[in-house]
Amino acid sequence: MNLLLISNSTNAGEEYLKYPMPQISEHLKGIREVAFVPYAAVTFSYAEYERKVQKRFDEIGIRVRSVHRADDPVRMIRRAEAVCVGGGNTFALAKKMQQQGLMSAILRRIKDGVPYVGWSAGSNVCCPTICTTNDMPIVQPESFKAIGAVRFQINPHYLDANPAGHAGETREQRILEYIEANRNRYVVGLREGCMLKYDDSGLRLIGSRPMRIFKYGIEPFEVNAGDDLSFLL
């Protein structure tokens, strides 16, 4: 597999997709064109999303072709040199991908070694399910099942703090609820500015911040870039 799973598209105060572009460029080295899945967009059009990503990918000389323009989106995925899935609302993304048969089509391409890049919701859908997204279920997908390219769950944009004056659950408490109900599954809290790279050399964390690991029966713990993550595979 050749996966780049990014927590967030944009760091605070920076331009869209600015911080991960060096890693995306390296990951997609030699690629001329990517099939882009824009279906996490809700408050703006798929065409706008395609243009937004294209503007950044112009810097690395890669054409972006959105699957929403294809008469046969599955066929586009089958022929793609690489696949990119953008962030937004994970439920909207999953519903449209399931309707078009893109989950299984993308998994087959991933297994063939085709590079995959996802950020935020695009990272969520690479997991077994979308159950550890932060998003509101604004639409109802066929199921919570996702691509399943990795065996663990990702919680992107992972936050440690609870805002002052807020009496609700923390992100950690929500994930602890998930592992109570899903005892065989690891969840990784991927903080902003960080990403996971999975290729022939294994799984590794990229970024200056640690990643928080959750598993039923184990006290949550932190891993850093360079640490062995083989237990997740």
**3-state SS, residue 180:** helix
**3-state SS, residue 46:** helix
What is the phi/psi pair of residue 220, to 5°? -55, 140
Asked whether the beta carbons of 18 and 10 are under 8 A apart, the reply is yes
Question: Which residues face 187 on adjacent strands?
Answer: 153, 214
Nearest residue to 192 via CA among 159, 214, 223: 159
Give the integer Cα–Cα distance in Å for 4 and 51.
Answer: 21
Known catalytic residues are: 120, 135, 157
**3-state SS, residue 147:** coil
